[in-house]
Structure 1
Amino acid sequence: MPRFSEIDAGMLAEVGGKAAHLGELTRAGLPVPPGWALTTEAYRRVAEAAGLAEVIAGGGGATGLAGAARTRLLETPVPAEVAGAVVAAYEELGGGPVAVRSSATAEDLPFASFAGQQDTYLNVVGADAVLDAVRRCWASLWTDRAVAYREANGIDHAGVRIAVVVQVMVDARVAGVMFTANPLTGRRHEAVIDASPGLGEAVVSGAVNPDRFVVDTATGRVLDRHEGDKRLAVRAVPGGGTRREEHVPAGLCLTDAQARDLAGLGARVERHYGAPQDIEWAIDDAGRLWLTQARPVTTLFPLPETTREGLRVYFSVNVAQGVMRPLTPMGLAAIRLTAAGAARLFGYGPAVPGDGPAFMAESGGRLWLDLTTALRSRAGRMILPRMLRLGEARAAVVVDRLMTDPRLSVIHTTRRPVVRAAARFARRIHLPARVLRALAGPRGSHAYVRGLGERIDRRLRVPAGATPAQRLDHAERVLAGTFPLVVSVMPFVITGYGLFALAARLSGVPLGEMQDVLRSLPANPTTEMDLELWALAGRIEPEPFRELPVHELARRYRDGALPPKAQREIAGFLGRYGHRGVAEIDLGLPRWSEDPAHILGVLANYLRTGVADGPAPDELFDRGAADAEAAVAAVVARARRGGRLRGAVTRFALRRTRAYGGLREMPKFLLVQTLAGVRRSMLAVGEHLAAAGVLADPDDVFFLTFAEARAALPGCDPGRDGYGTGGEPGGDLRELVAGRRAAYEREARRRHVPRVMLSDGTEPEAQAAATAEPGSLRGSAASAGTVTGPARVVLDPVGAHLEPGEILVCPSTDPGWTPLFLTAGGLVMEMGGAMSHGAVVAREYGIPAVVGVADATRRITTGARITVDGAAGTVTLQEA
């Protein structure tokens, strides 16, 4: 049974998380009450004697498993040699009052703290009482909450062990908890201290409203202090146990000096671990400060690494794209290469394309854009909020607030760099020539856009005999050169929407009242895909789709065993759209052509439910086109009041708007086509590496970067052609990939990703929640119309089922979501603006939609009746 002074962080499997931390703190010279750990070997012996392996194998659900395991452990005698060692170690501590705490091997980890999941016993006196507390600590590994928490975090029950910590009891005059980073705002270097008289149990258990102090750990300044009611205190009782004492004297239980001392101690602990900590502390009657526990704060989103000085502002690429999950390492690398090509168009390409542009950062497996330079420039303050209002309205509100922060004052006053960059971009995408082509007529413009798909297919072709190294070289060249090609569509889109604004000015009709002009736009690849899928459902044999589960449908499709027409028609659909998928910007995720289960599930949903009491989506689309023509006529009529020429120009402008507006989705469609082609080539590289024993599975290649994959190939230069940053040649990479997969899965369970984050950890939106009057949620108007119906909250479209008329409530959308729109009665999104993907597609289908609704998926529950007013931008909760 090692003493704390003999324990280090490498002994997690032997002593559990809590003891490992206490040993680390002791060895670092921090004030920890002395103690020792009863190792996991003792628990293993008892668990083996109790037959826990059979209980775990038997399952029985979380509650049944927990109850059976606890009973077995409590009924099994403690082995004599274990009991003797515990008694001897207790007497060596002095035989006085001790705290007995659980210390599990899956506890106080960087990704899951397990705070409060296992039991603690305070002021335990006497050897028999210590043995009883040890037994109960073992059993607490199997409480209902601990079992549920492990299952939620993907931790194997059979692999978890528990040690027990026994340490000298601090008879605290005041105690509590401290976070070395503010858990509400995310701000680092801002300690939040909760304190209450007596033992810390009152605070930890939530039995009191404690006094709260906020301290700037950099300066020691107390930023805030708030007195809690502290209606009771938990005190140690002579002879063992605790009691609750009511009528605690009023007044703050800590002085400012003590709060500063605590914050300073917390900063030392944080520096030792290199990450924010959740600390339990106590101050004894002599005024001495003690640390009784420390664990990492797992709820904070990790900060992007930066070498730039000063406060930085980061905007989430993932949130903007509706991809809340993390990206695979090769997916991140692919976006960096593509973004390097984009930056080069503006004259700011990085020296090493694989590094990505300087304004791109990474944390939590997600990508971030550093907006600081734009926010601190006069030109950026004009452009950035306007761009965000179109695509991410809630982020625009945050940026508006940040402009008032004195730390982000304007330091770049000249507009010349922006003008030069814009001129370079316009020249390199041939903007003037393509705008003239767009004005001349849609036929030539659309022919050019159709030709882009064929050009990309040619660029993606790799000789059948290409070596893995040649495939990697080709993939990096294609990705680095893709953006100039796909963005060449944008001059047509810019022309369309520029003429839309011109028509509004000429007619005097506000843009918000002209949204019907944008309904049912032609040439939108996403709506064409959705309507084709709906039409496909009407052409195929319905029986297997109505009767069989999705996994069986997928198996039959792969085996070519679906009814002939269904097999042929689905293959044709996937031939045109199989490069798409959910979270499709991630190169590392399968496409529909690889895993058609999502598409087959959508078809089954269409065939089982249809559209109740209303026209089919294709009829609605045609009706929307007719409504758009009527809207065009109404706007033109308004313009004619100013003269016939004004009316003619307005008609011309709106015709071009409708001709080109749908192309807004085309650049992403072409980019995803490129990613799908590169993915096929990388799978071939993965097969080679798996055959060589470097990887366990070909798909594991997506958990490497391009440079790492190249380094794993014999005789390859990791930094070839400047695309990668090099690295040591790899041997067996299976352990590396397994660790990255585990990290990816942990991050994928994260429910909240900040939209905007500052480099000090602050999440500005957490400081100002945007809500309307009680019972109403406010967002941004996205698609006009009002609908009342039951809500269906969907966090992942794969396997989602939406009854006709239900209102889809979701975090955000990409094209993988849009087949659900065909049966939705309305749409509510947490992210987005008037020109975001979901808003555009909702308008085209005539679905009332509100976007940018803060915490919609948490504040609205499935089945609740809600009213969506797409013109006012409100969502009203009617009943649960």
Structure 2
Amino acid sequence: MKTALEFPEIHAGMLAEVGGKAANLGELTRAGLPVPPGWALTTEAYHRAAEQAGLPEVIERAGEDLASQARDRLLGTSIPPDVAERIRKAYAALGEDVPVAVRSSATAEDLPFASFAGQQDTFLNVVGPEEVLLAVRKCWASLWTDRAVAYRESNGIDHAAVRIAVVVQTMVDAEVAGVMFTANPITGRRREAVIDAGPGLGEAVVSGAVNPDRFVADLDSGAIRERAAGDKKIAIRSVPGGGTERVETAADGFCLTDGQVRDLARLGAQVEAHYGAPQDTEWALDAHGKIWLTQARPITTLYPLPQATGRGLRVYFSVNVAQGVMGPFTPMGAAGMRLVSTGAARMTGYPPADPLDGAGPLTEAGQRLWIDLTTAARSRVGRALVPRIFSVAEARSAGLFKALADDPRLSVIHPSPRPFLRAVRRAARQIGAPRRVWWALTRPDRALAYTRELGDRLTGAVDPAPSATPYERLEHAERLLSRSFPMILSIMPIVMTGYGLFALASRLSGIPISDMQDVLRSVPHNPTTEMDMELWRLATRIEPFGERTAAEVTDLYRAGELPKATQDAIAAFLATYGHRGVAEIDLGVKRWSDDPSHIIGVLANYLRMDDRMAPDALFERGAADARAAVERVVAAAARRGRLRGAVARRALERTRRFAGLRELPKYYAVLMLAGVRRSMLVVGGHLVAKGVLDDPQDVFFLDFREVRKALDTGEGGEVVAGRKAVHEQESRRRHVPRMMLSDGTEPEALSMPAADGAIAGTPASAGVVTGPARVVMDPTGAHLEPGEILVCPSTDPGWTPLFLTAGGLVMEMGGAMSHGAVVAREYGIPAVVGVAHATERVATGQTVTVDGAAGTVTVDDTAAADGATGAVAVDGAAGTAAAQETTSA
């Protein structure tokens, strides 16, 4: 391999030889774009220098001081003589003592899934061959800064696999310079250039040393949508003979003309067109007014656009957010949800031509599922109804959806409610809604018996015959997923009758619904709370784990070596609830019966709780509070008339009997999914025997069409490894929008709340609690001390075992009737949901106050972030206060 290559010799496929920065500059040069001339010292040169410095041995030891040892070795070892000579010759070819920028170019830099911008060093206005040699060594050493090492580790990149090249590029003596994004990095809107500009070299803008001018321009038309002047008090300029200096400036007005902004936007459009994706570019404007490109890299923070579901601007809502699943779906998990959506579409009279395609409004982006709400956004009935639905299930999205009415591109084009009403009538008939409502009103025992009969019927149908062939299992799975939805949803008319009667009691009594939430505490017939209580009772029957870790106990359980009573009790729990798990709507995700380590970890938490916080006692107190709340509402209604009081009592009795059933459709759906998962694992085992797959679990990285093809042809397994890698990358994505438009805009980014003072959310469960926060992104293996405030992105039933030890709940997603809110109320845990970016604005160990009635979260920045913290937990709903002393781990 050559040790130096000129830009025209370099193309995008040479990442391993020249690193990300040089590969991009070579690609831009070859595309005819205005790039200052230069060359790259290849990774081979670094490899030889690193071998000479003994770096492989340092990496293999990988101690805590890995970064500093590696830097010292590289800086303390001379460059191999032939490499040094090649550097001198390449530099001389640019001109005699020409000023150059010497810039690092790592092989893990400027990648589509991880931007390493700023991780390694750049040296500007370097003059003379010896200074270039020194700058090269410093660039090599910058691959091993503490920051760069930590960044690679957090992104799962092997230190030994990373090499570094060095770019040497003629300096542009810039009058003005800066950065340009060809998509808006804040709002996500595509085809919108965001340009930051400042006088002098671009380093001042890139490093944040100056408040630059900012321009927002349309990439297609060049129209300037926004201008904002920065103070531009500092400029970085070249010093004759080498180096740079900071100088104070007195820049008035804008440092770019409108014409120059439009020229930059046109150049940005060319760069994006070449790469086929939005780019983050650096540019410089010289004394003659010429624009030069000094860098381009992918914008890695943008969320991928959903697959188009129609023409024009589209509105998409995240299925993952609605279901509390922030991670990506496996391919089979997404295919399973498409089949379920087919059942929903068939109910309303709009089935897809092929059931495997799923409902028309369902689409994918970032391995997550999205629903197209454009028709609702552009119809009068949708604008009235959708915000009301969101207000109880995903409150922040309600406001975002309402705001879409101000966008002229989303004007009403569906004024008539008739299509919607026809679809509702069809769906109501499909699920037998009139009969279920009548039962709920007049025969509550019959209504409850129906839900149990439904469970028995479904349990008997989820597994095919043991003798079923792989083809028969596949057909059974597809049929079950696409046709069970109406049956499972037939429970909801009973549930909605209960909540309707709750609203009736509010009107009869004159008490607002928001002041009646205690009525919904500790309701019966909720399979999720029943599961959590059974898990707590299990903790009271088993022997303490002692000093063993949850992982060690799990290994003993799998080997059947726990004490018999403990072994049998855990097995019995998993026999009933082992089909559940975290992110359980994804067929590809393991259930507790597959991996009991999460449940055993929760049991370890429960074993540390004292009797004052025993969930069964708290649940009983909640039931007593609910009875008192019912009497208060009935008394208020009776004061307005005896009949009112009697009707209110009957209404609230029905409400409490039916409210817990809200969780039952999800419970039955997961029971069905678990059966499909078991069947697909058998099919996966068959494909392993045929040599198509390496592991039965790999079947979940195929969809149903691909499984059928693999059964037919014995081919198709080669895609699994690539899909696993992409899935792993998507699993590290921290931000998933609630809602987005087809042009990439995130409506929430346009209405971000102020960060000062209390953080506002949606009231979910009354009460006030103060305690140390525990930010949890994934409940599997999470450690939550009793009384800590659980701060998390969202929850599904797999999270709820943590609720029993939590002092309070703060959730980024959800509304007053979302899963987490309902369970928090039942347990009497103060909760606030729909708190934007809560996991970023609250840190583990900070003392926070959660006001579940006001919907606010207050962070005490003065409190100690670690060590023992004393706090008083106040449960406003239960009327209890308990002094706590918690040590934050």
Change in 2 beyond 3 A, CA 1:269/1:844:
same
The offset of 1:306, in angstroms, is 0.7
* Equivalent residue, structure 2, for 1:201: 203
* Equivalent residue, structure 2, for 1:309: 311
Contact 2:104-2:121 within 8 A present in 1 as well: yes
TM-score, scaled relative to structure 2: 0.94
* Equivalent residue, structure 2, for 1:825: 807
Q: Map 1:463-478; keep pairs closer than 5 Å.
A: 463-478=465-480
The one-letter code sitting in structure 1 at the alignment partner of 2:541 is R
* Equivalent residue, structure 2, for 1:562: 562
* Equivalent residue, structure 2, for 1:713: 711
The offset of 1:697, in angstroms, is 2.1
Bigger Cα displacement from structure 2, 409-418 vs 683-692: 683-692
Contact 1:804-1:823 within 8 A present in 2 as well: yes
Contact 2:553-2:600 within 8 A present in 1 as well: yes
| Equivalent position to 1:783, from 759, 765, 770 | 765
* Equivalent residue, structure 1, for 2:12: 9
C-alpha separation in 2, matches of 1:251 and 1:438:
70
Q: In angstroms, what is the RMSD of aligned CA positions?
A: 1.6
Confirm or deny that 1:808 pairs with 2:783: no
The offset of 1:155, in angstroms, is 0.6
* Equivalent residue, structure 2, for 1:864: 846
Q: Map 1:326-725; keep pairs closer than 5 Å.
A: 326-542=328-544, 545-611=545-611, 614-715=612-713
The one-letter code sitting in structure 2 at the alignment partner of 1:747 is E
C-alpha separation in 1, matches of 2:771 and 2:108:
44
Q: Deviations over 1:370-412 (max 9, x none)?
A: 1111011011111101000010111101112112222211110
Tell me the SS of whatever aligns to 1:202: helix
| Equivalent position to 1:58, from 50, 57, 61 | 61
Q: Deviations over 1:158-191 (max 9, x none)?
A: 1111111122221112111111111111111111
Change in 2 beyond 3 A, CA 1:338/1:207:
same
The offset of 1:731, in angstroms, is 4.3
C-alpha separation in 2, matches of 1:825 and 1:146:
38
C-alpha separation in 1, matches of 2:361 and 2:835:
28
C-alpha separation in 2, matches of 1:341 and 1:205:
53
The offset of 1:429, in angstroms, is 0.5
C-alpha separation in 2, matches of 1:778 and 1:130:
54
Tell me the SS of whatever aligns to 1:76: coil
The offset of 1:660, in angstroms, is 0.8
Q: Percent same amino acid at aligned positions?
A: 68
The one-letter code sitting in structure 1 at the alignment partner of 2:808 is G
Contact 1:546-1:608 within 8 A present in 2 as well: no
C-alpha separation in 2, matches of 1:801 and 1:386:
36
C-alpha separation in 2, matches of 1:283 and 1:836:
53
* Equivalent residue, structure 1, for 2:744: 761
The offset of 1:803, in angstroms, is 2.2
The offset of 1:702, in angstroms, is 1.2
The offset of 1:204, in angstroms, is 1.3
C-alpha separation in 2, matches of 1:524 and 1:119:
58
The one-letter code sitting in structure 1 at the alignment partner of 2:154 is A
The offset of 1:225, in angstroms, is 1.7
The offset of 1:567, in angstroms, is 0.6
Q: Deviations over 1:552-584 (max 9, x none)?
A: 111011111111111101111111110111111
Structure 2 residue runs of 5 or longer lacking an equivalent are 864-889
Bigger Cα displacement from structure 2, 329-338 vs 464-473: 464-473
* Equivalent residue, structure 1, for 2:876: none
* Equivalent residue, structure 2, for 1:106: 108
* Equivalent residue, structure 2, for 1:722: none
The offset of 1:508, in angstroms, is 2.2
The one-letter code sitting in structure 1 at the alignment partner of 2:729 is R
Tell me the SS of whatever aligns to 1:142: coil
| Equivalent position to 1:846, from 828, 842, 846 | 828
C-alpha separation in 1, matches of 2:599 and 2:655:
32
Contact 2:787-2:806 within 8 A present in 1 as well: yes
The offset of 1:646, in angstroms, is 2.6
C-alpha separation in 2, matches of 1:691 and 1:231:
69
Change in 2 beyond 3 A, CA 1:540/1:468:
same
| Equivalent position to 1:730, from 702, 707, 715 | 715
Change in 2 beyond 3 A, CA 1:619/1:53:
same
The one-letter code sitting in structure 1 at the alignment partner of 2:815 is G
Contact 1:101-1:120 within 8 A present in 2 as well: yes
C-alpha separation in 2, matches of 1:93 and 1:777:
56
Change in 2 beyond 3 A, CA 1:259/1:615:
closer
Bigger Cα displacement from structure 2, 1-10 vs 485-494: 1-10
* Equivalent residue, structure 2, for 1:44: 47
C-alpha separation in 1, matches of 2:857 and 2:571:
40
C-alpha separation in 1, matches of 2:78 and 2:377:
67
Q: Deviations over 1:243-294 (max 9, x none)?
A: 2222344332111110110011011101111111110101111111110100
The offset of 1:31, in angstroms, is 0.8
Q: Deviations over 1:769-818 (max 9, x none)?
A: 2359x431221111122222222222221222222222222221111111
Tell me the SS of whatever aligns to 1:166: strand
Contact 1:546-1:604 within 8 A present in 2 as well: no
Q: Deviations over 1:121-154 (max 9, x none)?
A: 2222222222222222111111111111111111
Contact 1:703-1:741 within 8 A present in 2 as well: yes
C-alpha separation in 1, matches of 2:635 and 2:247:
79
Confirm or deny that 1:24 pairs with 2:3: no
Tell me the SS of whatever aligns to 2:305: coil
Contact 2:235-2:248 within 8 A present in 1 as well: yes
C-alpha separation in 1, matches of 2:338 and 2:723:
19
Change in 2 beyond 3 A, CA 1:571/1:708:
same
Contact 2:437-2:497 within 8 A present in 1 as well: yes
The offset of 1:605, in angstroms, is 0.8
The offset of 1:67, in angstroms, is 0.9
C-alpha separation in 2, matches of 1:429 and 1:771:
45
C-alpha separation in 2, matches of 1:791 and 1:152:
23
The offset of 1:855, in angstroms, is 2.0
C-alpha separation in 2, matches of 1:615 and 1:275:
54
| Equivalent position to 2:183, from 178, 181, 184 | 181
Q: Deviations over 1:741-780 (max 9, x none)?
A: 22112211121111111112111111222359x4312211
The one-letter code sitting in structure 2 at the alignment partner of 1:88 is K
Contact 2:706-2:716 within 8 A present in 1 as well: no
Contact 2:776-2:792 within 8 A present in 1 as well: yes
Tell me the SS of whatever aligns to 2:208: coil
Change in 2 beyond 3 A, CA 1:607/1:307:
closer
* Equivalent residue, structure 2, for 1:256: 258
* Equivalent residue, structure 2, for 1:68: 69
C-alpha separation in 2, matches of 1:469 and 1:86:
64
Q: Deviations over 1:350-373 (max 9, x none)?
A: 111211111112111111111111
Tell me the SS of whatever aligns to 1:233: strand
Report how many residues are paired.
858
Contact 1:281-1:291 within 8 A present in 2 as well: yes
* Equivalent residue, structure 2, for 1:719: none
C-alpha separation in 1, matches of 2:379 and 2:253:
48
The offset of 1:732, in angstroms, is 4.4
Tell me the SS of whatever aligns to 1:311: coil
Change in 2 beyond 3 A, CA 1:618/1:609:
closer
* Equivalent residue, structure 2, for 1:718: none
The offset of 1:439, in angstroms, is 2.2
The one-letter code sitting in structure 2 at the alignment partner of 1:730 is E
Tell me the SS of whatever aligns to 1:827: strand
The one-letter code sitting in structure 1 at the alignment partner of 2:674 is A
Contact 1:233-1:248 within 8 A present in 2 as well: no
Tell me the SS of whatever aligns to 1:546: coil
Bigger Cα displacement from structure 2, 406-415 vs 804-813: 804-813
TM-score, scaled relative to structure 1: 0.95
Bigger Cα displacement from structure 2, 379-388 vs 755-764: 755-764
